[in-house]
Amino acid sequence: MSVTDSTHTSELVARAKEITERELVIYSERTKGSQAATERARKVLPAGVPSSFQAYDPHPIVVRHASGSHMVDVDGNEYVDYDMGFGALFAGHMHPAVKRAVEAQLSEGTLYVTPCELDADVAELLAERYGFPMWRPTNSGTEATMDAIRLARGVTKREKLVKVEGGYHGHHDEVMISNKPDLADAGPADAPHSIPQSGGITQGTIDDVIVVPYNDADALERVLRNEDVAAFIVEPVMENIGICLPQPGYLEAVREICSKYGTLLIFDEVKTGITAGVGGATKALGVTPDLITLAKSIGGGFPVGAFGGKAEYMDLITTGEVLHLGTYNGNPLVMAAAKATLTEACTAEAVGEAIARNHRLVGACQQIIDDAGLPAHTVEFGAKGCITWSPEPVTNYRDYKATDFDLAFAQWMHGINRGILLPPGLDEQWLISVMHSEDDAMRYADVFSEFVDELTA
Ligand SMILES: Cc1ncc(COP(=O)(O)O)c(C=O)c1O
């Protein structure tokens, strides 16, 4: 970056901080009902929220109603929802087909704990889309990655796990390592330390998890050569640091290295899922892992997950050598929602349209960035997109940490006060669901353009 570039960026950052300060006051004024609801909730729920991801300062918006691509908070403010349940609502809020299927199932019963035909219906649909013959449903992405890792350990009879720095795979202990480590603790970029992200994780677990940088096949090979590793778990496209794409050849190299050392490759497609296209990132990118984990977008807003894989691995569950259990697995309401999502709401045609709409939105935002000469760029994958506040592409967690969070936060605050609802953590991306109209999608670009006008005035 030249001196002129860095002066330009510091001027933008100074302006961004002024915008943030003003927008925080506006936010407090227009969300007094959410503030009161959060104060009440804080007395009975830690941080006033059911999951710590939902907490942000000064208080989160508290929602009363959602439908299609819109949400209304308890103060009556309306938002176009681009968060869409951290990407879970690719079908939209209460898609008519999902609603019909769940309502019909309600009159047939909500829980059997003995199989129903919907279990196989959904597994067949996943087999068709992802090309693996056998699947098991879970209740969340966390369970899917936890069970896939156990299966990989059962198959390989090895204990170590390798994950990527900056990668999030749910909240069980062994993947709560180096999700967003402080760089002061994180160690060398090509051989990062394993940093627990929460209290309560044992040293034994930390020792079992080795962390590598994304987009660095050599670093992976160095680890697999020297350690007996059961599995490498990775999002084929990282979607918890904005959107971080694999560099050409990276996933192919990862595939080859894992096969060479007898390590199972787990693609965590909880976020890419069907938002990447009907067969997920696996089909879109053409690299086949050994196991796939899914959740979010396949469930139409219901608490679902699934993992599937090659028959030789899933057979260990058939024989009972590896156990996979759960009272609510295959819950009929959830299976009815997943079936309707996969067959009626998120058809190949609807998915294609959402991806095309997203492409137009990404193009409009990139044009605004180019016209204003901003130190930012857009990234897109399937029906998702993001604005990353750095001139250079992000290839791993360390690059992501070098992006400008002041500019990102100012844009987020400015947007939420104008009805643009994005995930709060600045590490996510927008999702254009099958229920976002062209106007809904483009609203984001209109508000972004207003923000850029102010920023550069
Ligand atoms: C890539 C990835 N894997 C797993 C999970 C965990 O899913 P869940 O929140 O359903 O437990 C998430 C959640 O955001 C995720 O992004």
pLDDT at 195 over 90: yes
Q: What is the mean pLDDT of residues 184-198?
A: 97
Tokens at 446, concatenated: 């209109």
Rg of the chain over all Cα atoms, to the nearest angstrom: 22
Assessment of whether the complete model's pTM goes beyond 0.85: yes
Number of helices (H), then strands (E), belonging to the chain: the values are 15, 14
If 0-12 CB within 10 Å is exposed, 13-18 middle and 19+ buried, where does residue 249 land? exposed
Instruction: Tell me the CA distances in angstroms from 235 to 212, 218, 359, one per residue in order.
Output: 13, 18, 22
User: CA-CA distance, 270 to 221, in Å (whole number)?
Assistant: 25
Contacts of 114 (CB under 8 A, 6+ apart): none
From the number of C-beta atoms within 10 Å of its C-beta (0-12, 13-18, 19+), residue 3 rates as exposed
pLDDT for 1 equals: 57
Q: Is the pLDDT of residue 215 over 60?
A: yes
Of 410, 389, 397, residue with least CA distance to 182:
397
Omega within 30 of 0 (cis) for the link into 58: yes
The full DSSP string for 208-248 is HEEEE-TT-HHHHHHHHHHS-EEEEEE-SSB-SSS-BPPPT
CA angle 420, 268, 55 (to 5 degrees): 40
Contact 139, 333 (CB under 8 A): no
Report d(CA 69, CA 443) in Å as an integer: 12
Q: How far apart are the C-alpha atoms of 183 and 189, rounded to whole Å?
A: 9
Q: Classify 67 as helix, strand or coil.
A: strand
d(CA 350, CA 181): 38
Q: In this predicted model, what pLDDT tens digit does every residue of 253-286 receive, in sequence order? A: 999 999 999 999 999 999 999 999 999 999 999 9
- Rounded (5°) CA angle 408-410-412: 70
Average pLDDT over every residue of 318-323: 98
Closest residue CA from atom 3 of ligand 1 = 169
pLDDT tens by residue, 331-352? 999 999 999 999 999 999 999 9
Determine the Cα–Cα distance for residues 413 and 116; give it in Å rounded to an integer.
46
119 Cα–ligand 1 center, Å: 22
The reported pLDDT for the residue numbered 2 is: 60
Strand 264-268 to 291-295 pairing: parallel
Q: What are phi and psi of 232, to 5 degrees?
A: -110, 115
Going by alpha carbons, the residue nearest to atom 7 of ligand 1 is 141
**Mind telling me the catalytic residues?**
168, 268, 296
**Burial code of 57-73, b = ≥16 C-beta within 10 A, e = fewer?**
eebbbbbeebebbbbeb
Q: Which of 169, 176, 302, 429 best tests ligand 1's pocket when mutated (most atoms within 8 Å of CB)?
A: 169
Instruction: Give residue 428's pLDDT.
Output: 85
Give pLDDT, residue 390.
95
Question: Which of 86, 149, 241, 271 for mutating ligand 1's site (highest number of atoms within 8 Å of CB)?
Answer: 271
Task: Show the tokens assigned to 255.
Answer: 């595939």
Residue nearest to atom 13 of ligand 1 (CA): 170
Amino acid identity of residue 201, one-letter, is I
Give distance in angstroms: CA of 451 to centre of ligand 1: 31
Pocket of ligand 1 contains residue 70 by CB under 6 Å: no
| Residue 101 clears pLDDT 70, i.e. is over it | yes
Q: Is the CB of 23 under 6 A from ligand 1?
A: no
For 349, counting Cβ atoms within 10 Å of its Cβ (0-12 exposed, 13-18 middle, 19+ buried), the class is exposed
Query: Which atom of ligand 1 lies nearest, measured to the CA of 235?
Result: 1
Question: Which is nearest to 230 in space by CA: 316, 339, 113?
Answer: 316
Which atom of ligand 1 lies closest to the CA of 142?
11
Q: Which atom of ligand 1 approaches the CA of 295 most closely?
A: 10
- 425 pLDDT tier (thresholds 50, 70, 90): confident
- Tell me the pLDDT band of 191, cut-offs 50, 70 and 90: very high
Asked whether the predicted pLDDT for residue 3 surpasses 60, the reply is: no
- Asked if 293 contacts 265 with a C-beta cutoff of 8 angstroms, the reply is no
- Asked if the model's pLDDT at residue 442 lies above 60, the reply is yes
CB atoms within 10 A of CB 201: 17
Whether ligand 1 lies within 6 angstroms of the CB of 140 is answered as: yes
- Chain mean pLDDT for the chain: 97
Query: How far apart are the CA of 286 and the centre of ligand 1, in A?
Result: 22
Res. 227: pLDDT tops 90 = yes
Please write the tens of the pLDDT for every residue from 31-88.
Answer: 999 999 999 999 999 999 999 999 999 999 999 999 999 999 999 999 999 999 999 9
- Determine contact, residues 288/133, Cβ cutoff 8 Å: no
Nearest Cα residue to atom 15 of ligand 1: 169
DSSP per residue, 73-136: ETT--EEEESSTTTTT-TT-BT-HHHHHHHHHHHTT-S--SS--HHHHHHHHHHHHHH--SEEE
Centre of ligand 1 to C-alpha 148, Å, is 13
CB of 9 closer than 6 A to ligand 1?
Answer: no
Which residue has 């009272």 as its token pair? 327
| Atom 8 (ligand 1) nearest CA | 141
Mean pLDDT to the nearest integer, 181-205: 97
Per-residue pLDDT, 426: 82
Q: How far is the CA of 143 from the centre of ligand 1 (A)?
A: 9
| Ligand 1 center–CA 56 separation, angstroms | 19
Check pLDDT > 70 for residue 367: yes
On the CB side of 321, how many CA atoms lie within 13 Å of its CA?
Answer: 13
- Is any ligand 1 atom within 6 A of the Cβ of residue 235? yes
Mean pLDDT to the nearest integer, 303-312: 97
Centre of ligand 1 from the C-alpha of residue 142, in Å: 6
The pLDDT value recorded for residue 124 is: 98
Model confidence pLDDT, tens digit, residues 390-424: 999 999 999 999 999 999 999 999 999 999 999 87
**Of 256, 394, 227, whose CA–CA distance to 211 is shortest?**
227
Question: Does the pLDDT value for residue 4 go beyond 70?
Answer: no
Instruction: Specify the higher pLDDT residue, 423 or 323.
Output: 323
